[in-house]
Structures are given as C-alpha cells and as structure tokens.
Amino acid sequence: MSARRDQSAPSEQERPQATVLVASNRGPASYSLSDDGSLSIKRGGGGLVSGLSAIGGADGTVWVCAALGEGDREAARRAPGGRLDHLAEESARTDQPVRMLDIDAGTFTRAYNGIANSTLWFVHHLLYDTPVKPVFDDRFRKEWDSYQAYNRAFAEALAAEAAPGATVLIQDYHLTLTPHQLRELRPDLRIGHFSHTPWAPPDYYRLLPDRVAAQVLEGVLGADRAAFLTRRWARTFADCCEAVLGAEVVDPGPDGGDLTIRHQGREVRIGVHGLGADAEFLRDRAHQPDVDSRLAGLRTSVGTGPDGRPRRTIVRVDRTELSKNIVRGLLAYRHLLRTREEWRGRVVHIAFAYPSRHDLPEYREYTAAVQRLAAEINDEFGTADWQPLLLHVDDDFPRSLAAYRLADVALVNPIRDGMNLVAKEVPVVSDEGCALVLSREAGAAAELAEDSVMVNPYDVIATADALDAALNMPAGERAERCKRLAAAATALPPQRWFLDQLEALR
Amino acid sequence: MSARRDQSAPSEQERPQATVLVASNRGPASYSLSDDGSLSIKRGGGGLVSGLSAIGGADGTVWVCAALGEGDREAARRAPGGRLDHLAEESARTDQPVRMLDIDAGTFTRAYNGIANSTLWFVHHLLYDTPVKPVFDDRFRKEWDSYQAYNRAFAEALAAEAAPGATVLIQDYHLTLTPHQLRELRPDLRIGHFSHTPWAPPDYYRLLPDRVAAQVLEGVLGADRAAFLTRRWARTFADCCEAVLGAEVVDPGPDGGDLTIRHQGREVRIGVHGLGADAEFLRDRAHQPDVDSRLAGLRTSVGTGPDGRPRRTIVRVDRTELSKNIVRGLLAYRHLLRTREEWRGRVVHIAFAYPSRHDLPEYREYTAAVQRLAAEINDEFGTADWQPLLLHVDDDFPRSLAAYRLADVALVNPIRDGMNLVAKEVPVVSDEGCALVLSREAGAAAELAEDSVMVNPYDVIATADALDAALNMPAGERAERCKRLAAAATALPPQRWFLDQLEALR
C-alpha cells in the first residue's frame, strides 16, 4: 500500500498551490469502506457544493474538510498528502481537489459534539435551559482545548496548500478560530469567514467563559471580512464585538454595504450574503421519476375529503433539531383541529422530522417528545378513513421534494434560524403554489416576509391562526405570492453567493 | 359583624384622599385567622416598607396591595372599604393606611403564578428551556386575561383613593399594565413605575406573544416616569421599546440623568435608583440576642480545622430561585475541594436555600437538584469531624444575619438579578470583614464590582477560582474592601430611594 501511495504522490514541489481555498467541517464527499477494502464515494449537496461549482474543479482550488467517519479516515490515509483527487482508486477520486483532515477521533468528537454542536450552536440559537445548563467545568475545558486543536489543524492545512496571496473562505461555527490562526501563519492571505447560523445577542453570548467568548470573536475577526446570512446576525455579531472586546463598530453609509469593526489596530469588514435556493438543480431534481413515484404515494396517503376533493396539506421538513420548533408546530396543528372543526377530515399535516445529532441526549428526548405528541394528535382526531398527521422520521430526499411539490401550506417555524433553506426551496418547486407560514426568527424572513404569513414561533395560537389563514388563502393569491416568494428565494443563487464573497475579498 | 364594620367605616366623603400612593402585589403586613375568629397581623420588611417609612403613616398616604392568603382575604372583608387601618380589631390594624384588594382567588393565581412568576419573571431572567417552553396556548390566554383584570383592580383602587394631582408609585412586574390603566382613569395623577427585576434584551423579550409584548411596554409607559435598579436594565427596557413599539429613545446629555422615550405623542422619562441596604435596621437587628445565639450555634457547627483555628466559611443566602444559580455554586465549591486539597477540613460552606414558589414544578425540581448535589458533596468529602457543607432549607432570618456576621466569603452568583440585596447586606453586618464573590449579572455589580471578586456565573471553574482567591485574601485587605463595599451598598438607603422617586415625579 505504501508503495502505491508513494508512486502517485506528487512531491511538495510538484503540487500546484491553490489560489482559492474553502474550509468547512463537512466536505463535498463522504467515503465508506467495503469488505474487500475498496472505497466507495458519495457526493454531497448543499449551498457550498453548488457555490464552489462556479469556479469548477480547477487546479487552483482546494477544499479542506474533516474526515467524519471511518471511511473518510481510510480515504484520507490512502490519499497522498490527504488530497482525495490523488487517490489511487480512480473511482473514489473527488471531482475537485479535496483535502480531508484525519483528526484524532477523540479530539474531533470533543470539538464537534462538545463545542460546536453543544455549545456554540446552543448559544447562537438561545437553546439552553439556563438554570442548569451550560456548566463550564473541567470537561468543557478539555473540549475547548480540542476545539482549538481541531481549528489549528485546518489552519495548518490551509497554510500548507495556499499559494502566496491566495483567497481562503472559512465556513461556520465549527471553525471560528481558524481565521486568526491562519493569519498568524500566513499574513499574506486574503481570509474570509462565513457564519451559516444566527449570532447570539451580547446578554446571551456572554454566558460563554470570558476567555472563550473573546477568543471566538477574535478568531472570526482574524479574517479580512466576516459575512453572515442577514443583516440581523451581522449586527448582533458586531454588538458582541462591542460588548465583549470593546471593539469599535462603524456603520456603513446610507447606501448600505459592509459594517466595519475596528479592533487592535485592524479593520475587519462585516458583510451580508443571503444564500438563495438553487433553482435549476431543485426544479430538475424534483421532476425525476423517484420524486414522481413518491408524490403519487403521498397523494394516496393524503386521500380525499368528504367533498371528494383531495385533502389540503400542511408540509414541514426539518432535521429533528431543537431550534426547529417541531413540538410547537404540532401543538399549533392540534389547536387548529380543536378550534376549527371544519378542517377535520379535510387537511393532512405531513411532517418530516429527520434524525439529527442523536449522540446528544437533548436531541433524543426531543425526538421522543415529537413522536409522543404526533401519536396523541392521531389518537385524538383520527378516524377510519382520515389520518390527520403523517410523521416520517427516516430521511428521504426525493420524498421531501415530493412533499414540497404537493404542499398547500409550508410550515417553517424555527425559534431561531440562520436562514432556513426549506422556506426558500418549497416555493421554487411547488406545483400549484404554496402558502408559506414563516417564523420571523428565521433569517429567511428578511427576504420572504412580504409574501409569507409571518408568525412568532413561541405563540401556538398565533401559529394556528396563521395555518388557518394560509389554508384559506384563495388559490390565485397563493399562486401569485408563491411566484414572488420563488423569485425572492432565488435572488442570490449559490454560485453567485460564492463569487460575491470572493470578489468582496479581493 | 356588619354592624361593627359600618360603625367604624368612614363614609366616602369623610375619607381623606391620598396624595402619595404605593401599589405592590405584596403589602406591608399579612394576616392569619385564629380558631376564635380573631385576626393576627405580621408586619413585613423589605426596601419598600423601609422606604415608605420616610413619609411616616401620614393620612396623605395609602398602600394598595393584594390579599395573598385566606387571612388577608378575611381582613380585607372585615375592613371598611378594604382599608386595614380602619379594622375593627385594634390589634390587627396596620401602622399606615393600607388597602388590601380581595381579588378572586382563581384570577389572582393565574395572574400571579401564570403570568408574573411563570412568564414575566422567566423572560426577564432568561430562564426558559426554549426548545419546549414557553408555550403560549389557550391556558396562557386565560392567564393573561386574569393578569389584565388583576392589574385593573389595582388601577381602580388607586383611582378611587387618590386625591387630585396625587403621586402614585406602582411596583414591579406584577403590575406592568396598571400605569396605563390608571392614566386612562385619572389623567391628573403623577404616575411612577419601578421595576425590581432585570429587563430582557429584545431578542429574548420578543418571545412573548406580540400583543402581550406591546401591552406590557405600553403599560409601563403609561407612567410619567419608569425607573429601574441599574442603568443596564433601563437601557434594555428602552431597547425593547425601540424594537417592539418603534418608540424613539433619547439619550441623556453627558451629565447623565434620565433617558426619554417618545411614543405616541407622549414623553416618558426612564430613571435609575439603585436601592441600597438599610444599614441602621440591619446593624441593630443583627445584634439582637436571637442572632447572637444562632451565631454561637453556627460557630459550633463550623468547628475548628486541623490547625486548631476556626474553619473558614463561605456563606450564601438565597431563596431557592432558578435565577440564583445555587447548583453551579455548589459545583464550584465541589471543584474547589477536588482541585485544592489544602481547603479540605479547613473550610465550611454554609448554604441557606429558602423555600420559594413551590407551586411551580420547575422550582420543586430545582430544589431537589440542590439537595441531591449537597448530599453528594458531603458524601464525597465529609469526614468524622468535618461536614464540608451545611445546607439549610428552612427560612430563619436571625440565622441568616448570624451567617452574614460570620462569613469570611459571601457567594452571590445569580445568572441574572435585578439587584441582589444579599450582596449589599453582608458587607454591612460582617463582624470581621467579608470578601464578596459577585456575579457580573447581578444589578449590584454596577455599584460593587470594584471591591468584589467578579465572576461569570455560568463558569464553574472561574467561580471556584474566585472562591479560592476570596478565601486567600489577606485579612487586612478583606476588611478594607468590606468597608468600601458597605459604604457603596448603603449609598442610597431605602428612605432616600423612595423620596428620590417622589421628587423626580413631582
């Protein structure tokens, strides 16, 4: 094996140095290891993959990511210098240059579960049960050390791969320290950071241990430019810099544009790029045969009401994530059925709640609560020929697209959300026009408020009222609004989103 | 009975109308009903009682409060017009004119438990387990109706008692709607509102149902002047008015003074009065024989260390309130004993956690968690002659004062607190000087930060470090700091606090 690796490995001199680099926890591909020892590759999706496709698989680009499972780790070990596009097994090579970091499993778990998902995610989404959690103790200190090491591994890989003066785009809350670490190693680079989450307001952000709170902010400020999905999150980030670091925030002029943060003699620009849905991909994918067949299946499950017409549908598609507010969504649906008898037998709520972060106990409890409440609703209202709620917890992307096409009403009610792409995707693929019930705490509200039915996500009765209004929206109005929602949702396609950030950095 | 009542009841014409009125949920006295049908009175304490004593029991004052238990209700029923100073039973009369409102028990419970203590208190202290609580449903709506009715009962009583142009001081989160309601009934009055709690930042405050969020702010803005314990809470209140109502906030000039909020054609001033400890009362009370005898008892329980000297003491005194952060305090003490063996056998933590709000399930669970953890700590470290933790959960004011006198270190670590008077009281009565470990999230931090050991209350290790630093503080430094803390803590005694508000309103 080692002989093969050496054969195909380019030497340091040979390796073409990258001029555009992307860093994110999850990469564009994942690997599994077969019994015969061969690797198989599964290519991923998402805004970043689409975005990066704008610049193709040119030699000048590299995507640095973490090996997430044993297949990934094996791929990283077999790939010369960790570069998967150089893998000996041709069928397992990536389309574009990818470098996967084989980070020690314990370090990775503490950084990823302990800090990124159990701490920073909770802080930015205001998810803590504050009287008892978080507790910053010895265990946390060890997790924080791992997070620093994990971020440093990215900084070192980026420093090794980047050509002089290259541009680096570092992604999200997993990698808040990397910009600062990378600047120390390579002050010649142009560094950007992008947050896909909300940002906590200072009164909540400051529950982090003081040193950690400052390090995260200064880590992000290591970039030349830090960007967010909406002006609101850019502003709360700036508020935190002011409150925690004593940094100075300079507002943009009346024409808008970037904020500027002055801290320790440097100026960092703070920008906004509202990632849109990938219309071309979605419309094509949503009309593949696998989606069509699932659509037929869903229609059968939904059935027809007492008037012989197809029942109305309220659709939600989420990871079972604490911030997605699935429980209150179900309570709102129950309230609708309790208080507006005219909908009984005439509407079906299709709720897809896909597994997420089951290694965290809060998520297992939350998933159980969702399932319990769903069963209660079906028990309370179900009849021989009407199941009021279809809950599915197994992930199935074509079925999600089928539900998008079918939905009369889409329910997107997170208690706090960086953007929420479901809110943007449904209007794009809807067959007949869909009314969108949207939480004002989703970043998407910044672009979609006008044609949505907006709700306060904590208010179950207001959400039920919004569902009723959405169900009663005349077909013509619904189609018109849906068209405008789709236009707003695709205003900034992933490729443009990515290129805009590159241009702003150069 | 009714004949007796009529005999002593002044007619409406006779009743002297009040020129200064105070309204608060809890009044200055409470009643219990004996088996023989007679009422006995128990007079209360606290800043408001001390404050009001500044203007004595003059006929020109009235205190309006709610009847809290069956004894209170009976007293209110027996008192002509609800005025307890006119009670037929002389021994049960109040020192000053008090009118107790006999509000329907269901209405009172929904307003007090449902809205005041389970909603507004939780919002302002950031206490919710947001993924699942709060849920604003039918039950909440009913509670909110009750809160409005309960506030209206106060507004009507105040309107009936007040002389033309009188000054009214309305207290706290129980009575946020009363200022607006009273203004509608009696636009001639000068109305003040005082918040004894923190105020939530807009991102958290807005989880309240929209109408409720607006009504609470506009209720308080019904006052001519609304005041808070620190500039920080005044500012977050103003931020909420800006974010929720679109009100305009005008900062004071460079000399400080009130903020001004412009809303719907009115200007409301926003002031700050940092209520101080009542030095005279505390120093006198802390040297009564019942306190001396408890002090002797505590000294015996604390005992002497291996060096033959009295063990050091860390004292905390709190209601068992979710915001008081007792669990993390115990975790910090455990961390201290685990990591700094030199303190084993040489320190005792005296923790008084008095019962609070046991009709709310969150509080029962929290109390159980405190007791469980306390037992674990004693199990882990206790020896035949050293009990590391003395936890007492039965309320005993003289014992609290004894602990204040004895404390080498006072631990005051709330996750969020309007002021925290314990932090101000301990330095005042300390016998030998006490080091104060103080949360930066307590309002008291605004005045006491300089001579305290400040902590981030979520950071258990930082809190343990602070306890260690406080225990190691040289006696001379400790005494000096304590003296300055006592001076800062008594800078605004209750009577001055009260008179300042009256003057600012006139």
Residue B457: is its pLDDT beyond 90? yes
A96 versus A467: which is more confidently predicted?
A467
Q: What is the phi-psi region of residue A420: left when phi exceeds 0, alpha when psi lies from -120 to 50, beta otherwise?
A: left
Residues of chain B with Cβ-Cβ distance to A134 below 8 Å are: 458
Smallest Cβ distance to B130: which of A126, A134, A459? A126
- The CA–CA distances, whole Å, from B321 to A203, B125, B207, B351, B357 equal 20, 11, 22, 13, 8
Q: Give the burial class of A42: count Cβ atoms within 10 A of its Cβ; 0-12 exposed, 13-18 middle, 19 or more buried.
A: exposed
A57: confidence class by pLDDT, cuts 50, 70, 90: low
**pLDDT for position B5:** 38
B408: confidence class by pLDDT, cuts 50, 70, 90: very high
Determine the residue type at A172: D
B16 versus A131: which is more confidently predicted?
A131
d(CA A255, CA B200): 32
What is the chain A residue with the closest CA to B339?
A: A138
Under an 8 A CB cutoff, do B369 and A458 touch?
no
Mean pLDDT taken over chain A: 93
**pLDDT for position A21:** 96
Residue B8: is its pLDDT beyond 50? no
Q: Judge contact between A223 and A170, C-beta under 8 A.
A: yes
Q: What are A173-228's pLDDT values in tens digits?
A: 999 999 999 999 999 999 999 999 999 999 999 999 999 999 999 999 999 999 99
Q: What is the pTM of this model?
A: 0.94
B358 versus A420: which is more confidently predicted?
A420
Residue B272: is its pLDDT beyond 60? yes
Smallest Cβ distance to B461: which of A141, A201, A366? A141
CA of A138 vs chain B CAs: smallest distance (Å): 7
Smallest Cβ distance to B331: which of A137, A362, A460? A137
Residue A90: is its pLDDT beyond 90? no
Q: What are B90-137's pLDDT values in tens digits?
A: 888 887 889 999 999 999 999 999 999 999 999 999 999 999 999 999
Q: Which two tokens stand for residue A145?
A: 């050390």
**pLDDT for position A53:** 78
Q: What are A276-310's pLDDT values in tens digits?
A: 999 999 999 999 999 999 999 999 999 999 889 99
A56: confidence class by pLDDT, cuts 50, 70, 90: low
Smallest Cβ distance to B458: which of A136, A202, A335? A136
CA of A209 vs chain B CAs: smallest distance (Å): 6
Smallest Cβ distance to A462: which of B138, B206, B209? B209
Q: Which two tokens stand for residue B354?
A: 């008095």
Residues of chain A with Cβ-Cβ distance to B208 below 8 Å are: 458
d(CA B179, CA B164): 16
* Chain A: residues touching B (Cβ < 8 Å): 126-132, 134-138, 141, 201-204, 206-210, 236, 322-323, 325, 327-328, 331, 335, 362, 366, 369, 415, 456, 458-462
Residues of chain B with Cβ-Cβ distance to A458 below 8 Å are: 134-136, 207-209
**Cβ burial B366-399 (10 Å sphere, 16+ → b, else e):** bbebbeebbeebeeebeeeebbbbbbeeeeeebb
Smallest Cβ distance to A201: which of B201, B325, B366? B201
B83: confidence class by pLDDT, cuts 50, 70, 90: confident
Residues in chain B: 506
Under an 8 A CB cutoff, do A135 and B202 touch?
no
What is the chain A residue with the closest CA to B198?
A: A203
What is the chain A residue with the closest CA to B124?
A: A203
Q: What are B111-123's pLDDT values in tens digits?
A: 999 999 999 999 9
d(CA B284, CA A455): 56
Q: Which two tokens stand for residue A306?
A: 């007492």
**pLDDT for position A256:** 78
Judged by average pLDDT, the poorest of B37-51, B198-212, B473-487 is B37-51
d(CA B357, CA B361): 9
Under an 8 A CB cutoff, do A136 and B208 touch?
no
Q: Judge contact between A124 and A173, C-beta under 8 A.
A: yes
What is the value of ipTM here, to two decimals? Answer: 0.92
B2: confidence class by pLDDT, cuts 50, 70, 90: very low
The DSSP bridge pattern shows strands A162-171 and A18-23 to be: parallel
- Catalogue the E-assigned strands of A117-212: 162-171, 190-195
**pLDDT for position A193:** 98
A15 versus A356: which is more confidently predicted?
A356
d(CA A318, CA A351): 8
Q: Which two tokens stand for residue A147?
A: 């997070």
**pLDDT for position B253:** 78
Best of A121, A136, A327 to disrupt the B interface by mutation (most B CBs within 10 Å)? A136
Under an 8 A CB cutoff, do A203 and B202 touch?
no
**pLDDT for position B82:** 81
Strand, helix or coil for residue A15: coil
Under an 8 A CB cutoff, do B126 and A331 touch?
no
What is the chain B residue with the closest CA to A201?
A: B203
Under an 8 A CB cutoff, do A327 and B131 touch?
yes
**pLDDT for position B7:** 40
Q: Which two tokens stand for residue B365?
A: 């669970």
Residue A379: is its pLDDT beyond 60? yes
Residue range A81-99: mean pLDDT, rounded: 85
Under an 8 A CB cutoff, do B204 and A201 touch?
yes
Residue B3: is its pLDDT beyond 70? no
Residue range B271-295: mean pLDDT, rounded: 96
Residue B4: is its pLDDT beyond 50? no
A6: confidence class by pLDDT, cuts 50, 70, 90: very low
Residue A3: is its pLDDT beyond 60? no
Residues of chain B with Cβ-Cβ distance to A459 below 8 Å are: 136, 209-210
Query: Of A457, A426, A432, nearest to A442 (Cα)?
Result: A457
**pLDDT for position A58:** 63
Residue A36: is its pLDDT beyond 60? yes
d(CA A39, CA B358): 60
d(CA A146, CA A139): 11
B328 versus B7: which is more confidently predicted?
B328
Residue range A152-173: mean pLDDT, rounded: 97
Smallest Cβ distance to A137: which of B325, B456, B460? B460
Residue range B249-259: mean pLDDT, rounded: 88
**pLDDT for position A95:** 79
Mean pLDDT taken over chain B: 93
Q: What is the phi-psi region of residue B37: left when phi exceeds 0, alpha when psi lies from -120 to 50, beta otherwise?
A: left
What is the chain B residue with the closest CA to A198?
A: B203
Q: What are B208-228's pLDDT values in tens digits?
A: 999 999 999 999 999 999 999
Under an 8 A CB cutoff, do B131 and A207 touch?
no
Residue A385: is its pLDDT beyond 70? yes
